[in-house]
Each structure stands twice: as structure tokens, then as C-alpha cells.
Amino acid sequence: MAMPGDGRPVPLPVEGRDYYIENGRWVFTAFYHARRGHCCGNGCRHCPYEPPHISGNEKLANPKDQC
């Protein structure tokens, strides 16, 4: 299992739910990002945070995305 910075175990990503592969690259879903708990600030295509692409932001644009 992967471990985030706070030490809680995080399940490994599952293809189709957490990511899909496009042109040989992994594209993470909004579900994966919401489960992560905060924005990474890397400009992800499916960033669920509002405003998007702000490192450390924890406010989900759609609270229904809460995991």
C-alpha cells in the first residue's frame, strides 16, 4: 500500500476508477484526487477542487465528490 504524508494507508490506484490510460499516460480521475484529500497544484485535467490547481487546497467544487 502507498502511504500519504500523514501515515494513513492508501489503497493502490485501480484502473477505471482512479485512473485511465490515454496515449500511454495515466490520467487520474476526480474520484482519485478527491480521495487524496488536497490539490497537488499540477494542473490536473480532472481536478475536483475549487479553485482548481492551487496546491494544498482542500475545498471540493462539488461536495458530492467527497470520498
Angle at 17 between CA 13 and CA 21, to 5 degrees: 75
Q: What is the pLDDT of residue 16?
A: 97
Q: Taking the domains of the chain in order of start, what are their residue ranges?
A: 19-65
Q: What is the pLDDT along the chain (67 residues), one digit of tens a residue?
A: 455 566 767 688 999 999 999 999 999 999 999 988 899 999 999 999 999 999 999 999 987 666 6
Q: What is the pLDDT of residue 11?
A: 80
Q: What share of the chain is helix, strand, coil (3-state, %, to 5)?
A: 15, 20, 65
